Amino acid sequence: MPLPLTPLRCLERAMDVFSSKPGIVCGDSTFTYGEFGERCGRLASALSALGISKADRVAYLSFNTHKLLEAYFGVLQAGAIVMPLNVRLTIPELTGILNHAEAAILFYERDFAAMIPQFRAACRAIRHFIALDGEDSDSVQYESLLSAHPAQSLDPYKNADDDIAELFYTSGSTGTPKGVMLSHRALYLHALSVATLYVETATTVDLHTIPLFHANGWGHPHSSTMLGVTQVMVRRFDPVHVFELIERHRATDMALVPTMANALLNVPNSSEMNVSSMRQITLGGAASSPALVEQMERLFRCEVFAGYGLTESAPVLTMAREKSGIPCASDAERWRRRAMTGWSIPGARLRVVDERLNDVPKDLESIGEIIASADWLMSGYYKDPVGSAAVLTGPGGEPGGADGQPVWLHTGDMAVWDTDGFILIVDRKREIIVSGGENISSLEIERAIYAHPAVLECAVVSAPDPQWGEVPVAIVVSKPSHTLQAEELLEHLRKSLSRFKLPRRVEFVEGPLPKTGTGKIRKLDLREPFWKGYEKRVQG
């Protein structure tokens, strides 16, 4: 009888094969995989004692710590769904997500304690608030909770393949955050595939530079655990501290969004740092450039290459390593290839198609949309069957999965490809701006702008930025006889939007804004002047 596919088998293997090996390093604390597994078991017992049952949503508001990593396994062991929250969101945004998901428990770090009274008042579904650290007389303390319950024996086979294990909220094209449901099966198969990208696992030390609340931590929590890799938690990204961690723990691997890479490159005396242990660096979350790959390679003297994926694909779909048998003629050619979107990893298949879902020519000129089929696509958007059906289809656009047909994820990313299967994203179909690795919906910003009484029309588009890759720019038409200044508008937006979503530029123009025949604002026309002279309409 086939065994259930679940990421709990990753933990089971780590406890069985690497029990005495240092597994998790967090600040001054180090846990062997045996100790880590026991803590996950205690968390599972505690959740069960609190009345958490199958499919309950368990939310975490936390930076990268061993306690959040324990949730990746302990919550699943209790049969529940782990829901890491983006710590950069505002209270109204988080409240909306918590209520939409109907989270039963909220674990939180002391950094967010001031928010808790508002969540208590506004999120009636939350039955328990658990303080991960610090003192809060109104909440249960995490360590006290774990110490009061014996470790539950790990049974990785009680969850069904299709049970939902993780719920990540990500900005969608509607401007409303969507809950991406990832199943036990998807996460396990994704872990197996990502594990093929590791090198010399016996000596690998993986820095968790990517927030665990972001897109399944790019799959590292599961793959690194399964392989018995030592995982070093980077609580909050600080470039100087990252250099210190690399030297102290002889780190070999890390993943970065381009803004993180740029921050490392700009650390004073970075060339004097001891980075001799590094072996490979993955760039993702936004488009990279050959120049960035070159600079990172020269600084760290290791393999540096881009990757691509979405929260909806758990997330990794491609890597831009060289293909065997296809050598690069020069360093410049290698940097160009390694900055591309790349080619599919095992278990994934990607195509670049036109509106009729026919493959576009592989000439690096013809543009189409990337669609992807993989063993680890999301089960759909939580409570949103219409949105799910719009992006998950069969090969001809029919409902996905019908009559045994593969499911294809429509990514909304526009790209070209070559005869070797290397893909390069050149534009974005959906109205999403990726700034510093964070998804920002232009429609969400526009709705907030329209709430100002002096605004007649507006559009939000992306513009290139050397630090963040791309940033939102607001183009606004004021109502007749109304005067509106940029700072006044930004002050209005700060009431409803997170800081990273605020437009970096506000331009006031005489109306009306250009429109299509159906009355829609022509955003491409508005965006084009900002990108004049750039080869791609997305930037890293």
**CATH code at position 523:** 3.30.300.30
- Residue 238: how many other CB atoms lie within 10 Å: 13
Distance of alpha carbon 123 from alpha carbon 101, whole angstroms: 10
pLDDT, residue 517, reads 54
Whether residue 299 lies inside any domain: the answer is no
**CATH code at position 360:** 2.30.38.10
pLDDT, residue 264, reads 94
Q: What is the CA radius of gyration of the chain?
A: 23
Are 394 and 459 within one domain? no
Are 462 and 484 within one domain? yes
Distance of alpha carbon 131 from alpha carbon 436, whole angstroms: 29
Count of structural domains within the chain: 3
Q: Are strands 303-309 and 316-319 parallel, antiparallel or unpaired?
A: antiparallel
Are 57 and 116 within one domain? yes
Whether residue 132 lies inside any domain: the answer is yes
Q: Which residue is it, tokens 């996460």? A: 187
Whether residue 308 lies inside any domain: the answer is no
**Which amino acid makes up residue 416?**
V
Are 49 and 162 within one domain? yes
Domain extent at residue 471? 437-531
Bridge partners of 74, per DSSP, are none
Whether residue 290 lies inside any domain: the answer is no
Check if the beta carbon of residue 27 is closer than 8 Å to that of residue 184. no
Last residue of a domain, one of 236, 267, 297: 236
Are 455 and 424 within one domain? no
Last residue of a domain, one of 204, 236, 268: 236
Distance of alpha carbon 199 from alpha carbon 212, whole angstroms: 22
Are 483 and 365 within one domain? no
**DSSP H or E run through 11:** helix 8-17
pLDDT, residue 442, reads 85
H helices of 267-396, in order, are 290-300, 331-338, 385-391
Whether residue 231 lies inside any domain: the answer is yes
Return the structure tokens found at 2: 């086939």
Last residue of a domain, one of 394, 428, 462: 428
**Alpha carbon 498 to its chain's center:** 17
Distance of alpha carbon 39 from alpha carbon 241, whole angstroms: 27
Each residue's pLDDT expressed in tens, for the chain with a length of 540 residues: 789 999 999 999 999 999 999 999 999 999 999 999 999 999 999 999 999 999 999 999 999 999 999 999 999 999 999 999 999 899 999 999 999 999 999 999 999 999 999 999 999 999 999 999 987 778 899 999 999 999 999 999 999 999 999 999 986 545 678 999 999 999 999 999 999 999 999 999 999 999 999 999 999 999 999 999 999 999 999 999 999 999 999 999 999 998 899 889 989 999 999 999 999 999 998 888 888 899 999 999 999 999 999 999 999 999 999 998 888 889 999 999 999 999 999 999 999 999 999 999 999 989 899 999 999 999 999 999 999 999 999 888 887 766 677 899 999 998 999 999 999 998 777 677 888 888 788 878 988 898 899 998 899 999 999 889 899 999 999 988 888 999 999 999 999 899 999 999 999 999 888 886 545 788 888 998 999 888 777 765
Are 357 and 477 within one domain? no
Burial classification of residue 228, based on how many CB atoms lie within 10 Å of its CB (0-12 exposed, 13-18 middle, 19 or more buried): buried
pLDDT, residue 447, reads 83
pLDDT, residue 537, reads 72
Check if the beta carbon of residue 422 is closer than 8 Å to that of residue 342. yes
Distance of alpha carbon 340 from alpha carbon 348, whole angstroms: 17
Whether residue 462 lies inside any domain: the answer is yes
> What 8-state DSSP symbol labels residue 289?
-
Give exposure, 35-66, as e/b (b: 16+ Cβ within 10 Å).
bbbbbbbbbbbbbbebebeeebbbbbbbbbbb
Whether residue 278 lies inside any domain: the answer is no
**Which amino acid makes up residue 519?**
G
Check if the beta carbon of residue 216 is closer than 8 Å to that of residue 314. yes
Are 410 and 446 within one domain? no
**DSSP H or E run through 397:** none
In degrees and rounded to multiples of 5, residue 532 shows phi and psi of -60, 130
pLDDT, residue 143, reads 97
Return the structure tokens found at 83: 């829901």
Task: Give the Cα-Cα-Cα angle 479, 484, 490 (nearest 5 degrees).
Answer: 120
Are 52 and 179 within one domain? yes
Are 495 and 356 within one domain? no
Check if the beta carbon of residue 276 is closer than 8 Å to that of residue 243. no
- Residue 343: how many other CB atoms lie within 10 Å: 23
Query: What predicted TM-score, i.e. pTM, was given to this entire model?
Result: 0.88
Are 120 and 143 within one domain? yes
pLDDT, residue 539, reads 63
Are 47 and 19 within one domain? yes
Whether residue 279 lies inside any domain: the answer is no
